[in-house]
Amino acid sequence: MNQVLIGRKERKGWAAALLLFMPLADRFIELEVYKLSRSLSLEIYEFSKSFPPQEVYSLTSQVRRSSRSIGAQIAEAWGKRQYAKHFVSKLTDANAELLETQHWIGTAVDCGYLEKDKGDQLHHDYDRFSRMLNSMILKADKFCKPFEK
């Protein structure tokens, strides 16, 4: 496994290595983490189409909104990367939306709208996604730079 020293902590695994060797993007839509957000939000959309009509204004809209907000927060973070603290703040917001999405996935499983195996797989995918966001937060200086005139 690759090991990367971030701050005073040693990080192991692919998430740390990914950011170490990943070329920086020119646009947020080129970021692997953004592409993953789009893919997972589409997956949420697809399975939520089968929710019962009485959930349309509650669980259905909540899980769709939170899953879509993650990518929007990443895009906003990219726009604020001139200032590392703003960049990190927006990525932290993205991670909060990610955790909310995991909550709604669990609720869908509890209500019997989503198979437990599918819910477990989505939780695993979102855990991996969260590690990618946290890696970006820990390495904000690699992404942030003053705007050029």
Q: What is the pLDDT of residue 17?
A: 52
Domains of the chain by range and CATH? Answer: 27-143 (1.20.1440.60)
**Rounded CA gap, 88 and 84, in Å?**
6
- Give, for 5, the enclosing helix (H) or strand (E): strand 3-6
Q: List the pLDDT tens digit at each of the 149 positions of the chain.
A: 333 333 334 545 555 555 554 446 889 999 999 999 999 999 999 999 999 999 999 999 999 999 999 999 999 999 999 999 999 999 999 999 999 999 999 999 999 999 999 999 999 999 999 999 999 999 999 888 766 65
Q: What is the pLDDT of residue 9?
A: 44
State the Cα–Cα distance between residues 69 and 39, nearest whole angstrom.
13
Give the Cα separation of 91 and 62 in Å (integer).
20
DSSP calls for 32-64? HHHHHHHHHHHHHHHHHTTS-GGGIIIIIHHHH
* d(C-alpha 39, C-alpha 15), whole Å: 18
